Homo-oligomer: A and B are copies of this chain.
């Protein structure tokens, strides 16, 4: 039948950041599957069925996509940003472990502009040296694990990007994150709050760690913490390429 599944990254929001590869897959698709706000970004057209589902049903959504493809559909699972960064690609492979009857499915993962790199570009180059990406959501890991990673990242001299820093269901966790960072880093360390980058709602706020407040982040924010050498030049924030610079 020629069914397939593509897991596509739509980037952070702007159409100019959607790759031609993703656009081509969407043009060929019979079905689009994804979280409600991401499916809302896809223009309806004849021959295309949009399947929007709620958050936290990633495995169901992935199995649904595999079933549609087995019946001959050309399915795009849409993620914001990059599908391989705290998004749907891992969920699809988790589903594939459970559904071994679907392991011959024609699957492609189509990369996208992930939020931290879009945010970094808007601010300058705060991730211009070694860095790490940490998902602060504790839906899928205990907070002790988050804390362990924060301390190793800080002690290792990495810049850090935090996804899902704060939500209504766990407003106090990011307070704890800032407390841990203040134990590990100097007060002048630069912290960037980048919200809804590349959309009309975009805001960028760069403060020192001493000035940072948990309320500066929400679920549409990526937070970037520089390394010890990260600094301002004019209106920009950047991390030098050299350790000794």
Contact = CB atoms under 8 A, between A and B. Distances in A.
Contact of A135 (B83, B118, B125, B130): B130
Nearest to A239: B90
Interface string A181-194: 00000000000000
B245 A125 contact: no
Nearest to A153: B156
Contacts of A16: 19-21, 24
Given A90-B240, A117-B85, A153 B127 contact: no
A168 interface: no
Given A16-B24, A18-B19, A243-B145, A125 B84 contact: yes
A28 interface: no
Given A96-B233, A234-B103, A142 B84 contact: no
Contacts of A120: 84, 109, 111
A142 B91 contact: no
Given A20-B15, A20-B20, A129 B90 contact: yes
Interface string A5-41: 0000001001111111100100000000000000000
B141 A242 contact: yes
A45 interface: no
B90 A238 contact: yes
A180 interface: no
A89 interface: yes
A111 B58 CA distance: 27
A149 interface: yes
A63 interface: no
A179 to B, nearest CB: 18
A111 B103 contact: no
A29 to B, nearest CB: 16
A149 B156 contact: yes
Interface string A218-245: 0000000000000001101011111111
Given A14-B21, A145-B157, 12 more contacts: A16-B19, A18-B20, A19-B113, A82-B117, A85-B127, A87-B128, A94-B241, A103-B233, A109-B121, A131-B132, A152-B153, A156-B156
6 contacts: A19-B19, A85-B128, A97-B233, A114-B117, A132-B132, A153-B156
